[in-house]
Amino acid sequence: MAKGVEVGLLADEYEVWMSFKDASMLIRYLPHARREQLTAESIERAKVGEKTVDGKSVAEVEETYNINVFLEDYGRAAVRGWKGFTKNGEPLPFSHEACDEMMKYWIEFRDFVVQSARSFDAMFMEEERARLGNSLPTSGQGSTSRT
């Protein structure tokens, strides 16, 4: 039987545990078409959302609000679970709300999620390393504790 990448692996359901610092996240692959759909859905959702001014111009509030809506939507689509994150020294269980906050306020987390979910190659390589039992070390990238 010939080895190869199954067609089903390219679907929106492809998920891989990815190492991030001392933790790991279950990341779903988001193909280009799905990312485009997420962008369109986020724009529509932002249009109907409540906005507050709080001393900022309406344009500033709308831009920040739109970005936050997109980050929430992207994180909810891409991050399916996690292990190893802590907050105030206690384990931080996965929830969509916790992921929303991390996507908005932890740039390194956000960048990792965005890059990982769009890179089938990186996900496939991580899966292969895990399968072969020689996952790369995190090489002192710091703690995953968030306060």
Domain positions in the chain: 20-131
DSSP 8-state assignment for residue 28 = E
The count of other CB atoms within 10 Å of the CB of residue 8 is 8
The per-residue pLDDT for 41 is: 84
Parallel, antiparallel, or unpaired: how do β-strands 90-91 and 86-87 relate?
Answer: antiparallel
Average pLDDT, the chain: 78
pLDDT in tens, 24-77: 999 999 988 888 888 888 877 776 554 555 555 555 546 566 788 889 999 999
pTM: 0.70
Asked if 26 and 142 count as a contact pair (C-beta separation under 8 A), the reply is no
pLDDT in tens, 71-86: 999 999 999 999 999 9
